[in-house]
Structure 1
Amino acid sequence: MDCRPIALAVAVTALLAATPLSAARPDARILDAATAARPAQLALLEKVVNIDSGTGDAAGAAKVMAVLIPELKAIGATIETVSAEAPGLGDNVVARLTGKGKGRILIIGHVDTVFPAGTVAERPFRTDGARAYGPGVSDEKGGVVQAVTALRLLHDLRETNYASIVLLIETSEETGSPGTRKLIDTLVRQADVELNVEPGDAPDAVTVWRKGSATIRLTVHGRAAHAGVAPQDGRNAAAELIHQIGTLDRFPRSGEGLTANLTTLRAGDRVNVIPDLATADINVRVRTADQFDGILSAFQAAAQQTIVPDTKVDVSTTPSFPPLPNNQATDRLAAQAQAIYADLGLALTTAGNGGASESALAAAAGTPALDGLGPVGGGFHSVREYLELSSVTPRLYLFAKLLIQLGANPPAK
């Protein structure tokens, strides 16, 4: 383990101690506890990052849970293991703490990643003094570990002025939470507020809006034939699919509004056969639900205009998450978080992005939600994924203090 992050935490604490007396001051108990927790927090993060747990890797998910569950049991949490609601997915974990206050807080995090088995062997957890790296280090194992550490911090400080804190650790968020939709719907309706530990955006933001997501699948049916002897007898599904994908040219690939991007493409399995089947997946992100209807209609209309004779195009959809729109409840929570961060002499900004999450489901159910509360990171879903080590202690302080405040005074639903 690189010892430089510990030195960095000491430096951060010293800087905060030098804040002018006229400025707001942090809660010393919580800051000291957050600073002291840093080595164990990073050690726990290293353990879970170094376990492959891509969505659908049920065994990998179980190994991660086997690391986290004892941490939660040690602070008195009751643990419920909940089977996934769709086949081939890992079990989910619901940890519950009961206090003496009135706020019912739901924390949601996920331990599934987009990386296949074997990724850890290729690039395990490492740090370079400024950042930590590894599969899922920010998205979202860093946030889950922060949540577990914050609950331990509250336990050690004997902070129990909340009615309940429920931590849902799920295993299928990266594919739209098909293994937890019913469970999430139940939990968000039982809560006064939902806090999501997705990573914070650089340079230091919480997430107040998110795009909704869905996938449009194009499936072209053609006719196979020998590619050398009688190609004229075939009906090339791949060629027609290329034509259909051209519909994408009508829509933006990036930006804060609607975007549509080609993500998977499959056709043929032999080099000497005209392919009779070809598929493509179009990942669509929208700011408002009605935007999806427009892009779906465009692909459905294109499917009626084939250029390869006797081919047929089917258009199907798989929804993921609805949008998390800008709303007053989230804005109020963000302002509360900003005030806590200001006590550290730090500025917390607000932002939004195209990465969908469970907070949209909470908001849709009428439960105030705030997202992007994990450590700051970037490079998500790529070999460049990283976590900013300088954000670990301030974000832990923020999260723990927010739990304490919301436990005592939950927002009105």
Structure 2
Amino acid sequence: MNQFIKVALVAPLLIGGTAHQLFAQEEGADEATKNVTLDKKYETEINALSKRPAVQTAFKYFTELEPQTKKDLILLTEIPSPPFKEVERSKKYAAMMKEAGADSVWIDKVNNVLAKRKGKSGKKTVIVEAHLDTVFPAGTDVKVKQKGDTLYAPGVGDDTRGLTAVLAVLKGMERAKIETDADVIFVGAVGEEGLGDLRGVKNLFMPGGPKIDSYIAVDGHGIDGITHRGLGSHRYRITFKGPGGHSYGAFGIVNPHGALGKAIYYFTTEADKFTKEGVKTTYSVSVVGGGTSVNAIPYESWMEVDMRSESPEKLNGVDALLQAAVQRALKEENAIKRRGPDLTVTVKLVGDRPSGRIEPTVPLVQRAMAVSKYLQAEPVLSVGSTNANIPISKGVPSVTIGSGGTGGGAHSLNEWWLNDKGTLGLQRILLVLLAEAGPAN
């Protein structure tokens, strides 16, 4: 009979915080995960792995490697990687992976970097991934500035630190000659942020891609957070269009702003009722635009809407309310016109992140929890929107974990990262990976 240890899961206090950890704080600290149990056998497994001479050699090497890991972090941070423009960072990261000793390295059709390390049997494939893109547009100053021991730059933590952590783990495995039973593919993925819509990981799971048995995403900092539930989202750009004209001379034609205003009102009124009960579900009319002049009836009016839930049913439900509100507004605006053509509307899905969950009893989640305990941290289970959403939605055992150290200001120009026991993050990634991939002997 297995013995269990209770794990109290309480969201961490943060200063700034990365997107992954903010989800742990704001969305992950719910009653569903506060009394999850950790099976003692996984603690035993992790303790045994940590005592292997090769693993201890890798741990020691992580410390010796810290000056180079810092240089790698600065180098990669200063290569701009805006959404959909990750190619230069991809090329450099691929070269670094090749130099680190991967058996084969390639860049796929969407500019993901894949570095394969062959396992003894290769019957299983484990992915270890961090994302290449940042939220910052082209032209952003990404020069790293150091104040004391703290590094400041847009993207330095989210997720460039993750990239360097994954790279360092590969280097450590090579130096210590750690062999696994499963194949391991280290990935630098594109398209995690914003309208990138997880396109990099979606491509990994397309037909013809590698068979993936376990997925470890590295995003955020610290050694306690474990995202095992995918926060799904639907994002739309909705555009009402009419002929436009002079505010006086063309009066009586359809007005796209009128329709947009009605759509927002009808949607938010019904969505407010719908989201008051059940699994947390959110909605936001986030950006609006249109119009040319105070004395002109606009020819178009548009909005971008974000909806999120870890429940597919609730997400689809609030989505249906948006669609109904748009059509009602269109019909009513056309009904009051006095002349001219009808108003039209286009509803474009610009973001579709699937939701789902991996149960805390699944070995990968248990192993991630056990590693946090081994490193003297209390594991924090959470829901979040990360690259792990895709494998989670497909039922592939998946977690997102941090890369060590501490940081804050994610998605801001003042983003920072501090190497506060950062090597513990590398130890964590290695132990979770080795437990999933299995030692070769």
* TM-score, length-scaled by structure 2: 0.75
Post-superposition offset of 1:384: 4.3
Post-superposition offset of 1:162: 3.1
Equivalent of 1:365 in 390, 394, 414: 394
The equivalent of 2:118 in structure 1 is 98
The equivalent of 2:380 in structure 1 is 350
| 1:219 and 2:248 aligned | no
Post-superposition offset of 1:378: 4.0
Residues 403 and 305 of structure 1: CA distance in aligned 2, closer, same or farther (over 3 Å): closer
Q: Which residue type is aligned with residue 424 of structure 2?
A: P
- Determine the C-alpha separation between the residues in 1 that align with 2:390 and 2:63: 33
- Determine the C-alpha separation between the residues in 1 that align with 2:356 and 2:382: 9
Residues 80 and 327 of structure 1: CA distance in aligned 2, closer, same or farther (over 3 Å): same
The equivalent of 2:429 in structure 1 is 399
SS in 1 for 2:356: coil
Post-superposition offset of 1:289: 1.0
- Determine the C-alpha separation between the residues in 1 that align with 2:71 and 2:131: 19
The equivalent of 2:257 in structure 1 is 238
Equivalent of 1:340 in 368, 371, 379: 371
Unaligned runs of 5+ in 1: 1-23, 85-90
Contact 1:185 1:361 in 2 (8 A): no
Post-superposition offset of 1:45: 0.9
Residues 190 and 277 of structure 1: CA distance in aligned 2, closer, same or farther (over 3 Å): same
Moved over 6 A (4+): none
- Determine the C-alpha separation between the residues in 2 that align with 1:214 and 1:137: 28
- Determine the C-alpha separation between the residues in 2 that align with 1:111 and 1:188: 19
Contact 1:261 1:282 in 2 (8 A): yes
Post-superposition offset of 1:130: 5.9
| 1:145 and 2:164 aligned | yes
Contact 2:364 2:436 in 1 (8 A): no
Contact 1:206 1:348 in 2 (8 A): no
- Determine the C-alpha separation between the residues in 2 that align with 1:46 and 1:390: 17
Equivalent of 1:385 in 415, 418, 435: 415
| 1:162-173 map, 5 Å | 162-173=181-192
| 1:289 and 2:318 aligned | no
Post-superposition offset of 1:160: 1.2
Contact 2:224 2:402 in 1 (8 A): no
Q: Which residue type is aligned with residue 180 of structure 2?
A: N
Per-residue CA distance 1:163-194 (angstroms, 9 max, x = gap): 31112222222221335524334588613311
| 1:258 and 2:290 aligned | no
Residues 162 and 244 of structure 1: CA distance in aligned 2, closer, same or farther (over 3 Å): same
Post-superposition offset of 1:111: 0.7
- Determine the C-alpha separation between the residues in 2 that align with 1:284 and 1:162: 41
Post-superposition offset of 1:270: 4.4
Per-residue CA distance 1:115-169 (angstroms, 9 max, x = gap): 10111x2x53234446433222222221111111100110011111233111222
The equivalent of 1:79 in structure 2 is 105
The equivalent of 1:374 in structure 2 is 403
Post-superposition offset of 1:113: 1.4
- Determine the C-alpha separation between the residues in 1 that align with 2:250 and 2:177: 75
- Give the % identical residues: 22
Moved more, 333-342 or 244-253: 244-253
| 1:20-59 map, 5 Å | 27=51, 28-57=56-85
SS in 1 for 2:305: strand
Moved more, 301-310 or 41-50: 301-310
Equivalent of 1:324 in 334, 337, 356: 356
Residues 353 and 377 of structure 1: CA distance in aligned 2, closer, same or farther (over 3 Å): farther
Contact 1:321 1:357 in 2 (8 A): no
Contact 2:190 2:199 in 1 (8 A): no
Residues 129 and 400 of structure 1: CA distance in aligned 2, closer, same or farther (over 3 Å): farther
Alignment: residue pair count: 370
Q: Which residue type is aligned with residue 99 of structure 2?
A: A
Post-superposition offset of 1:100: 2.4
Q: Which residue type is aligned with residue 107 of structure 2?
A: T
Post-superposition offset of 1:325: 1.6
- Determine the C-alpha separation between the residues in 1 that align with 2:259 and 2:345: 9
* TM-score, length-scaled by structure 1: 0.80
Residues 63 and 341 of structure 1: CA distance in aligned 2, closer, same or farther (over 3 Å): same
| RMSD of aligned alpha carbons | 2.9
Q: Which residue type is aligned with residue 386 of structure 2?
A: S
Post-superposition offset of 1:94: 1.4
Contact 1:188 1:367 in 2 (8 A): no
Unaligned runs of 5+ in 2: 1-46, 338-342
